[in-house]
Structures are given as C-alpha cells and as structure tokens.
Amino acid sequence: MIVDLDVLKHILVKDFNNFVDRGFYSNEKDDPISAHLFALGGQKWKNLRAKMTPAFTSGKLKAMFPTVMDAGVILEKYIEEHAKIKQAIDIKEVLGKKFCSPTFSKSKV
C-alpha cells in the first residue's frame, strides 16, 4: 500500500499509462455496469478514458461544482431526516434512482 501522497500522485497522474490494470471486478457480459473506467484495464480502459477526458476539463469541473455541492446538500438533508426518525434508507436506491432523477435533485426532501 502506498502511503506517500507524492508517490501516489506520481503513479496516478504522471505514470498512469504504466498502471492501467488495477484489478477491479469487471464483467461486461453479465454485469455491464461493472465495466466502468476504474474497473477496466488495457486497451478498453484507454479507449474509454479517451472518450471521457474531454468531459472533465478544469473549466467543465468548475462549472459542475455548484450543482454537485447542491446535490450533496440535498443528500445530506435526506439522510438527516431519515436518521432523525431512525428510518433505514436503501443507499443504492437513493443514489441510483432517486438522487440522480431531476425530481429528487430539485426537491428539498
């Protein structure tokens, strides 16, 4: 395990071409959602990264930041409300369905 942040940054940023195969589970046939950027390796990883990189420029990330912060506040309130009444939530459902929907993201919970 790497604990030196400078070494980690060097590996993940400067030498990322040498560390594309991270060993995460990925099964495109039976579980297509598992084939995301962090799980893929080799040429598939490189192809997907090349497609996704333009979406994450510094300008686009700055533009997305307020929306992400607003969504975080909404999620925090949602969790707090359920915690107050000691009601369990299905976080997979919240993040996968409700939280990503336009209705939920604009609501005040």
pLDDT tens digits for range 20-74 = 666 677 778 888 888 877 778 788 888 888 998 898 899 999 998 998 898 889 8
Contact indicator for 80, 72 with CB cutoff of 8 Å: no
What does each C-alpha distance from 28 to 33, 48, 53, 96, 99 come to in angstroms? 7, 13, 21, 19, 25
Q: How far apart are CA 19 and CA 21, in angstroms?
A: 6
What does each C-alpha distance from 11 to 6, 15, 49, 60 come to in angstroms? 9, 5, 16, 24
**pLDDT per position as a tens digit, 91-103:** 888 877 666 665 4
Contact indicator for 77, 109 with CB cutoff of 8 Å: yes
Range name among 3-12, 50-59, 78-87 with the lowest pLDDT average: 3-12
Q: Give me the pLDDT at residue 80, please.
A: 95
pTM for the whole structure:
0.52
Q: Give me the pLDDT at residue 7, please.
A: 87
Mean pLDDT of 3-23: 76
